[in-house]
């Protein structure tokens, strides 16, 4: 189970890192994306919901990547709409 949680954290962290890189390249000041947590953990057509612990670890990894990789003055917000899934918004600030 511990390996599953570590992998879930790493998956979330990698997604967060990629989203920050995408935001840096974008000309838009606000970027929003729906985060279907189970789809990232089990694939789009998975039959099962990911265990709650791995969902939380995935989000922990995602949030940590955002904190570590966003440039100064930028902010992010996560609005839960179907716990644990939700909308991630990245706002560009002064660069």
**pLDDT tens across 22-76, in order?**
999 999 999 999 998 877 777 644 555 666 678 889 999 999 999 999 999 999 9
Look up the pTM and report it: 0.84
Could you tell me which residue, 51 or 8, shows the higher pLDDT?
8
What span, in angstroms and rounded, lies between the C-alpha atoms of 19 and 88? 10
pLDDT of residue 47: 56
Burial class of residue 5, CB neighbours in 10 A (0-12, 13-18, 19+): middle
pLDDT for the residue numbered 37: 85
Burial label for 19, CB within 10 Å (0-12, 13-18, 19+), is buried
Q: Please, are residues 46 and 39 in contact by the beta-carbon 8 Å criterion?
A: yes
Residue 31: the pLDDT is 94
Note the pLDDT of residue 45: 47
Structure confidence at residue 27 (pLDDT): 94
């Amino acid at each position: 189970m511990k390996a599953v949680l570590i992998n879930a954290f790493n998956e979330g962290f990698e997604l967060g890192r990629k989203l920050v890189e995408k935001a840096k390249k974008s000309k838009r000041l606000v970027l929003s994306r729906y985060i279907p947590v189970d789809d990232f953990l089990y694939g789009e057509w998975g039959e099962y919901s990911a265990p709650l612990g791995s969902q939380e670890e995935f989000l922990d990894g995602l949030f940590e990547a955002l904190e570590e990789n966003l440039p100064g003055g930028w902010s992010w917000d996560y609005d839960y709409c179907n716990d644990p899934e939700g909308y991630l918004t990245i706002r560009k600030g002064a660069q």
